[in-house]
Structure 1
Amino acid sequence: MKRKILTLAFLTAVMMLLSGCTEINQDITPESEGFWNEYVVYPLSLVILKTAEAVGSFGWSIVIVTILIRLLILPLMIKQTKNAKAMQVLQPEVKKIQAKYKSKDAQSQQKMQQETMALFQKHGVNPLAGCFPLLVQMPIIFGFYQAIMRTDAIKHDTFLWFDLGSPDPFFILPLVAGATTFLQQKLMMAGSANQNPQMAMMLWLMPIMIIVFAVTLPAALSLYWVVGNIFMIIQTLVINGPDSIKSAEAND
């Protein structure tokens, strides 16, 4: 999990550099230059615009396109979730191997790594499998985030009780975004958060960060977070079944 957190942080930093953080307040148009703008952000913005024309609302357009994007990367997420679940099942065996080779000398550490990898191979588990889905997801998700932020027409539309271009005046969306982020992570980390202090920290840190950001950012982005989180919650429940709820309750 430490490796995955570091990988996610690294990929986020890379995506911010590639996307050009100085352009975040610049509207995306057909004239926007640069690989990131031309082949990632503008096409996603165009999808949002065309969907809004079809359904008559930018709010519903964000909901629909968010679901479509999540469906697009669903096979990768299923693979990542199943691999994480298999890794979790093998943790007791991994700890036995680690206890067997407590010594920090090079030979013991090498044997520990060899036996651990043999255990993973025996059960068909790839400890690096969680990194590839992140590599694919980050450009799409961050690109969609920028498409929402930089599409001028979205800023002037309303949806339900809020303006898409302004923060939610009643703080309902930020709180729902934070709550769904917590629930999503709770389900995904079920059975292992208590065993890993870093995971326990992320369980609380991410929802708080989402709420802080959502209070100040346009409500369109909060809507995207809420819809994406709800999709992920349903996805986790479908893949892991009732066990995910029982494991999450066991962590309380």
Structure 2
Amino acid sequence: MLDLFLATPTPVVPTPTTPPPGGADFFSTIMWPFKFLVEAILVFWHWIFTAAGLPAAAGATWVLSIIGLVIVVRSALIPLFVRQIKSQRKMMELAPEMRKIQEKYRGKRDQLSREAMSRETMALYKKHGTTPVSSCLPLLVQMPILLGMFYTLSDVKKHAEWGVGGVGLLNTELTKQFYDAQLFDVAPLHTNMIEAINLGQTATVVILVILVVLMIASQFITQLQIISKNLSPEAKTGQAYQMQKIMLYVLPLAFIFSGVFFPLGVVMYWFTSNIWTMAQQFIVIRNLPTPGSEAAKAREERLARKGKALDAKGRVISMEKYQAEQQRLVEEAERARAAQPKRQQPMGKQRAKKQSNKGGSQG
């Protein structure tokens, strides 16, 4: 009888609310290296903050780790982003020539015309050193990393409930700490809005609603920067511009879905990534605007106030060098025009006959 009172009670393991982690399949095999990389960065930042004195299971520690994860990954993707901007700029430069080719073969449906149009289009891409795929390639490269972030943060609840860790450095103990972490000590990072509503977690619902509103606002501002400041007058006349205006209001609504079904940790990552995108877009539009756009005119005015201007290659130079370059270009154009053979006016039959008779009489 005494043994019953002295015996250590067996801890009660809560029944998991998620299905058990599945075995290896084709998709998880492909995503494994990306999830491993994401976990390594997340654990590294967690180690930094715990070494600085923050509690290992505190919500602030893991939120800061998520922010650090976004900073590292998005910083690594900056070269791809710059390449994407350059590819898009080249595609805009060849747009007038592309329209000429399209007008040339408008209405021609025969095989020879289609082949000729394709050859001229490919030659144009080769001349400018770009293709339509070039502007999409950086986005395609980013997708596995972004998916790795999403699934790593989304799987925390499942792994913690089943007592397992991630695929790499996010072991069982760290996974449990992440699972126990609460933002402001009231909102669990593994809980989504539906679960918070069902559990009566009002504070979590309020935090998620605020984050979703901020996500929508940041996405709207990012798109608004592009269509209001960084499009040339020619780009604002096409069908693509109308689609961009529609997406300005439609795309942010997608974050309502993410705010309802994604865990708070994932929403925090998404919001941080949105802020990064908005700031990055602002810097690009300010310093590398589309030629002919409102942002380009504003940049030229800022440079003029500082006594500077852009040369023919888009480099910032002093106003004196710019004026000298413009004078040189005018002189070169005049010399080229003077070197061209003079065009003779067409002569009618009667005038030619008179000239011939006049020449004969003088002889």
The TM tier, using the shorter chain, reads 0.7 to 0.9
Counterpart residue type for residue 173 of structure 1: L
Q: Distance in 2 between matches of 1:155 and 1:68?
A: 23
8 Å Cα contact 1:63/1:227 also seen in 2: yes
Unpaired runs of 5+ residues, structure 1, are 1-24
1:175-195, CA deviations, whole angstroms, 9 ceiling, x for partnerless residues? 111222233334456424763
What is the DSSP-based 3-state SS (H/G/I as helix, E as strand, rest coil) of the residue aligned with 2:116? helix
1:99 shift after superposition: 1.8
What is the DSSP-based 3-state SS (H/G/I as helix, E as strand, rest coil) of the residue aligned with 1:130? helix
Counterpart residue type for residue 218 of structure 1: P
Q: Which residue of 1 aligns with 2:145?
A: 140
1:162 shift after superposition: 4.3
Q: Which residue of 1 aligns with 2:190?
A: 165
8 Å Cα contact 1:44/1:144 also seen in 2: yes
1:3-46, CA deviations, whole angstroms, 9 ceiling, x for partnerless residues? xxxxxxxxxxxxxxxxxxxxxx6687xx9755246433244234
- Cα 1:84–1:188 change in 2 (3 A) is farther
Q: Which residue of 2 aligns with 1:53?
A: 47
- For these two proteins, the number of residue pairs brought into alignment is 222
8 Å Cα contact 1:27/1:151 also seen in 2: no
Q: Distance in 2 between matches of 1:112 and 1:36?
A: 39
Which residue of the other structure, out of 37, 44, 47, is the alignment partner of 2:38?
A: 44
8 Å Cα contact 2:259/2:267 also seen in 1: yes
Q: Which residue of 1 aligns with 2:250?
A: 205
- Cα 1:26–1:39 change in 2 (3 A) is farther
Q: Distance in 1 between matches of 2:39 and 2:20?
A: 10
8 Å Cα contact 1:165/1:219 also seen in 2: yes
Q: Work out the percentage of aligned pairs sharing the same amino acid.
A: 26
Q: Which residue of 2 aligns with 1:94?
A: 98
Q: Distance in 2 between matches of 1:90 and 1:237?
A: 25
1:229 matches 2:274: yes
Q: Which residue of 2 aligns with 1:11?
A: none
Q: Which residue of 2 aligns with 1:220?
A: 265
Q: Distance in 2 between matches of 1:36 and 1:87?
A: 32
1:164 shift after superposition: 2.0
Q: Which residue of 1 aligns with 2:87?
A: 83
1:137 shift after superposition: 1.0
Relative contact order, higher structure (CA 8 A, sep 6+): 1
Q: Which residue of 1 aligns with 2:76?
A: 72
Q: Distance in 1 between matches of 2:269 and 2:38?
A: 13
Task: Indicate the structure (1 or 2) with the bigger Cα radius of gyration.
Answer: 2
Q: Distance in 1 between matches of 2:270 and 2:32?
A: 24
1:225-247, CA deviations, whole angstroms, 9 ceiling, x for partnerless residues? 12112212222233332636936
What is the DSSP-based 3-state SS (H/G/I as helix, E as strand, rest coil) of the residue aligned with 1:128? helix
8 Å Cα contact 2:84/2:134 also seen in 1: yes
- Cα 1:66–1:193 change in 2 (3 A) is farther
Q: Which residue of 2 aligns with 1:183?
A: 221
Q: Which residue of 1 aligns with 2:196?
A: none
TM-score (norm 2): 0.53
Q: Which residue of 1 aligns with 2:128?
A: 123
Which residue of the other structure, out of 212, 216, 221, is the alignment partner of 1:174?
A: 212
1:139 shift after superposition: 0.8
- Cα 1:209–1:124 change in 2 (3 A) is same
- Cα 1:220–1:188 change in 2 (3 A) is farther
Counterpart residue type for residue 226 of structure 1: F
Q: Which moved more, 1:40-49 or 1:62-71?
A: 40-49
- Cα 1:203–1:86 change in 2 (3 A) is farther
Question: Hey, which of these two has a bigger chunk of helix by percent?
Answer: 1
What is the DSSP-based 3-state SS (H/G/I as helix, E as strand, rest coil) of the residue aligned with 1:241? helix
Q: Distance in 2 between matches of 1:126 and 1:90?
A: 10
Q: Which residue of 2 aligns with 1:15?
A: none
Q: Distance in 2 between matches of 1:99 and 1:138?
A: 36
1:85-122, CA deviations, whole angstroms, 9 ceiling, x for partnerless residues? 22123323322321221124133333333333333332
Counterpart residue type for residue 156 of structure 1: D
8 Å Cα contact 2:221/2:278 also seen in 1: yes
Q: Distance in 2 between matches of 1:246 and 1:157?
A: 46
- Cα 1:238–1:215 change in 2 (3 A) is same
